[in-house]
Structure 1
Amino acid sequence: MTGIVDSDQHLYESRSLWAEHIDPAARDEALSLVDDELGYTWLTWRGTRLALADVHTPGDTASCGMHRQRQRAGAQPGYRYDDALPDSYWRPDSRVDWLDAAGLDEAVVFPNYGLLWERRLTSSLPALTANMTAWNRWCAVVQQEARGRLHAVAHLTLRDPGWLQTELDRLADAGVGLAMISPGPVEGRALSHPDHDRIWSAFVDHGITPVFHVADQARTFDDCWYPDDQSGDLVPATEAVFLWVPPALALTDLILHGVFDRHPQLRIGVVELSSAWVPSFLLMLDGASDFTTRLNGKPVAALSRRPSEYFLDHVRVSSFSYEDPRQLTEKTGDVFMFCSDYPHSEGTATPLDDYRRMGCHEKQMPGLFHTNIDWLLHRS
């Protein structure tokens, strides 16, 4: 495989996606996009507003804030949601056209609103899995319509192993190779818990790579650290500062408790959770493991290699151009991936130019531009 593959883009869900693709018996649980009396569009579940829907402009985060300011002030919205939403934001064929214009060959596409509701639906496992299934069925449609140019990312929870097995069967048949999961504990159990070994085996057997991605999922810190939660903010500031902590904690757990020794073919992706933390994390991972082994007189688990080696061999991390992935690669190794986060406001519509300005070029850094995401997709 050659070319440029973007490891992080997003497809907006249509208003009818969940209702159209959810099991008929769960139709009342379907998420929806509903307009209020002023004309603002909301992501809703069972009539409850979960999040204000908005149309992002790459590189213009302030416009999202202005949209929220107008809503809080009771003013009319500055745009009608459906009128402002470009086809390339939600239609697979139009996104492929955008790839051509941007000079990209392929892209991995995560959900848009799927990043906002997992924690909010945690009280109802049937509703949670039903809406995940609806998105996953749409992933199969994307795979067909994009003819290999888009790689849709499924949305899974590890809380229901029977449902998960069924989803993995269906996803593998559809050619879906990536699945977003939470880096948090599962029903009070760490990801490394022996009860989850059959789950990691199922991912490997189906050729589907679990991916950690920024999302409203189980939190690492106590809720008291998020006092701005009740204000309706899209992203709490504390969460943004510590964006890297959930994947770092999850990977520490998986590595030190021997999961990669037990599942040597398991691969993990880390996307939109920053990458600048990786060099210092690997230093601390090895150092803390050495120190506590000496201090406690035993390791957490008998590992066949250094902890950092498992990360380098089993994990790939998306790195924004401004994080200087060329320098990170020199410090750490070839584990980083090209990403744009298109069309989100914190992303970019000119990713290729952005990376080249940072001294990153396709011929010198094939891992960044395609081979690392190829590896996650089991194409190399």
Structure 2
Amino acid sequence: MTDHDARPDYRPIDLDNHYYEPLDAFTRHLDKAFRRRGVRMVNDGKHYTAVIGDRVNRFIPNPTFDPIIVPGCLDLLFRGQVPDGVDRSALMRVEQLELRPEYRERDARVAVVEQQGLATAVMFPTFGCGVEQALREDIPATMASLHAFNRWLDEDWGFDRPDHRILAAPMISLADPAAAVAEVEDVLARGARLVHLRPAPVPGATGPRSLGHRAHDPVWARLAEAGVPVAFHLGDSGYLRVAAMWGGKDTFEPFGPGDPLDKILVDDRAIHDTMASLIVHGVFDRHPALRVASIENGSEWVHRLAKRLHKLANQTPRSFPNDPVEALREHVWVAPYYEEDLVRLAAAIGVERILFGSDWPHGEGLARPLSFVDELTAFGPNEIRKIMRDNAVEFLGLPVPAAAAANG
């Protein structure tokens, strides 16, 4: 399907959409006791700067998002296909109008979802993906800040509505196990269809923990019981500490100057290690109904992890009551980068575990979400339908009639 205006005869489900948070997303509902410990937006008279805890945070250098770059304008850069002689900085085009309402308003976004030919858009943070790492040394402030954020998210976007057009994923931190269970119960009561966790070690008062630590079993058990899956979306996982070991910076500044070596050293290590911790430390053995997904972390890590799990199980079979590679194939869904080798990914985990995600409206995503189909020429119609819709229906537990509505 090379014509971007052509559409399938069903409405796909986009597992990777984003909003641009307003300045008060983390403060509107924040407990006053944490006003000086959480997220603050400081205005010097000309610009806003994010201060998280007691430090300036550059995860998003312009937290007003005004101006913002054009959706999909960095496509060639992220494909690694910039023609010789083209100024790469010129690819970053800035929108000339005020921030579009669909970036911050649910009803306006629903209208865009309709125009794009989608059944459902699953929404993730932009600024919010850097907050937990910034607050890792203050666990009470972490839990209070994410609770306040989830209240804002439900108020402005709604975790789910009867039409299922927008599914907003609340953020959960496991740093305080008891508070994490309480937060899960709260968002489930508010109708959350999925939850969003950071792909990273869990910070704790006595040091970091594996996601597979048994202290987190009550959260995994509750989500499995509710049939609510977990999405691990790309964000600041703290892995730039690895780059710092090689002389780089240890702070995540996506649009600032940096050492190119950082990208090679860090790359997809966080999601690889996240899934390894879940499998090797037995989360899926103890909670066989749990479903998880990797969103916007690419897919090359899948092959390395499968190879390593196979070798480890052969070396220490008593460590694995079940085949760890099969656990990967059964419990983990992947929304790959659209430019990757998706045939190879299907061979590794099965076409039934591949999800469609456009990253709209980010500059590194697709300008037109349904153009994702252009990357699926090696697949047949039934396989394309699985990737574009049916796999998401299973992962999210959506009612099939709502997701299967014909494209009018």
What is the alpha-carbon distance in structure 1 between the residues aligned to residue 20 and residue 375 of structure 2? 29
Q: 1:172–1:207: 8 Å Cα contact kept in structure 2?
A: no
What is the alpha-carbon distance in structure 1 between the residues aligned to residue 170 and residue 251 of structure 2? 29
Indicate which of 269, 272, 287 corresponds to 1:248: 272
* Counterpart in the other structure of 2:335: 318
What is the alpha-carbon distance in structure 1 between the residues aligned to residue 380 and residue 321 of structure 2? 37
Q: Deviations over 1:116-171 (max 9, x none)?
A: 22211112112211221122113323226864211111111111122112111111
Q: Against the structure 1 CA distance between its residues 238 and 254, is the aligned structure 2 distance closer, same or farther, given a 3 Å change threshold? A: farther
- Which residue type is aligned with residue 268 of structure 1? V
Q: Against the structure 1 CA distance between its residues 243 and 210, is the aligned structure 2 distance closer, same or farther, given a 3 Å change threshold? A: farther
What is the alpha-carbon distance in structure 2 between the residues aligned to residue 258 and residue 48 of structure 1? 37
What is the alpha-carbon distance in structure 1 between the residues aligned to residue 375 and residue 271 of structure 2? 28
Q: Deviations over 1:19-56 (max 9, x none)?
A: 2222344344452444444x343323357431212423
* Counterpart in the other structure of 1:74: none
Q: Against the structure 1 CA distance between its residues 232 and 182, is the aligned structure 2 distance closer, same or farther, given a 3 Å change threshold? A: closer
Unaligned runs of 5+ in 1: 70-77, 294-298
- Which residue type is aligned with residue 56 of structure 1? I
- What is the SS of the residue equivalent to 1:21? coil
Q: Against the structure 1 CA distance between its residues 189 and 280, is the aligned structure 2 distance closer, same or farther, given a 3 Å change threshold? A: closer
Q: TM-score, normalised by structure 1?
A: 0.83
What is the alpha-carbon distance in structure 2 between the residues aligned to residue 325 and residue 231 of structure 1? 29
Q: Against the structure 1 CA distance between its residues 134 and 344, is the aligned structure 2 distance closer, same or farther, given a 3 Å change threshold? A: same
Q: Deviations over 1:308-367 (max 9, x none)?
A: 110111010102321143453245412111011111111112121232354267643233
Tell me if 1:43 matches 2:57: no
Q: Against the structure 1 CA distance between its residues 365 and 144, is the aligned structure 2 distance closer, same or farther, given a 3 Å change threshold? A: same
What is the alpha-carbon distance in structure 1 between the residues aligned to residue 330 and residue 109 of structure 2? 32
1:262-281 equivalences in 2 (<5 Å): 262-281=286-305
- What is the SS of the residue equivalent to 1:119? helix
- Which residue type is aligned with residue 10 of structure 1? H
* Counterpart in the other structure of 1:365: 384
- Which residue type is aligned with residue 167 of structure 1? E
- What is the SS of the residue equivalent to 2:195? strand
* Counterpart in the other structure of 1:337: 355
Q: Against the structure 1 CA distance between its residues 362 and 260, is the aligned structure 2 distance closer, same or farther, given a 3 Å change threshold? A: same
* Counterpart in the other structure of 2:214: 194
- What is the SS of the residue equivalent to 1:323? coil
Indicate which of 14, 19, 24 corresponds to 1:6: 14
Q: 2:70–2:363: 8 Å Cα contact kept in structure 1?
A: yes
CA positional deviation for 1:4: 0.7
| Percent identity of equivalent pairs | 27
Q: Against the structure 1 CA distance between its residues 31 and 261, is the aligned structure 2 distance closer, same or farther, given a 3 Å change threshold? A: same
What is the alpha-carbon distance in structure 2 between the residues aligned to residue 176 and residue 22 of structure 1? 20
What is the alpha-carbon distance in structure 2 between the residues aligned to residue 79 and residue 372 of structure 1? 34
Q: Against the structure 1 CA distance between its residues 11 and 374, is the aligned structure 2 distance closer, same or farther, given a 3 Å change threshold? A: same
Q: 2:291–2:331: 8 Å Cα contact kept in structure 1?
A: yes
Indicate which of 140, 148, 158 corresponds to 1:143: 158
Q: Against the structure 1 CA distance between its residues 16 and 331, is the aligned structure 2 distance closer, same or farther, given a 3 Å change threshold? A: closer
Tell me if 1:184 matches 2:200: yes
Q: Cα RMSD (Å) of the superposition?
A: 3.0
What is the alpha-carbon distance in structure 2 between the residues aligned to residue 329 and residue 145 of structure 1? 30
- What is the SS of the residue equivalent to 2:158? helix
What is the alpha-carbon distance in structure 2 between the residues aligned to residue 46 and residue 221 of structure 1? 19
1:66-81 equivalences in 2 (<5 Å): none
1:181-260 equivalences in 2 (<5 Å): 181-186=197-202, 187=204, 188-219=208-239, 222=242, 223-225=244-246, 227-229=248-250, 234=255, 237=260, 240-241=263-264, 242-260=266-284
- Which residue type is aligned with residue 308 of structure 1? V
> What count of residue pairs does the alignment treat as equivalent?
358
Q: Against the structure 1 CA distance between its residues 303 and 46, is the aligned structure 2 distance closer, same or farther, given a 3 Å change threshold? A: closer
CA positional deviation for 1:231: 9.4
Q: Against the structure 1 CA distance between its residues 32 and 226, is the aligned structure 2 distance closer, same or farther, given a 3 Å change threshold? A: farther
Question: Which has the larger helix fraction?
Answer: 1
Q: Which deviates more, 258-267 or 352-361? A: 352-361
- What is the SS of the residue equivalent to 1:16? coil
Tell me if 1:286 matches 2:286: no
- Which residue type is aligned with residue 138 of structure 1? W
Q: Deviations over 1:226-247 (max 9, x none)?
A: 6134695547655543432222
Indicate which of 151, 156, 159 corresponds to 2:172: 156
Indicate which of 297, 306, 309 corresponds to 2:326: 309
What is the alpha-carbon distance in structure 1 between the residues aligned to residue 391 and residue 308 of structure 2? 24
Indicate which of 73, 90, 99 corresponds to 1:85: 99
Q: TM-score, normalised by structure 2?
A: 0.78
Indicate which of 149, 171, 174 corresponds to 2:187: 171
What is the alpha-carbon distance in structure 1 between the residues aligned to residue 360 and residue 286 of structure 2? 36
What is the alpha-carbon distance in structure 2 between the residues aligned to residue 66 and residue 29 of structure 1? 36
CA positional deviation for 1:115: 1.2
Unaligned runs of 5+ in 2: 1-9, 78-87, 400-408
- What is the SS of the residue equivalent to 2:71? coil
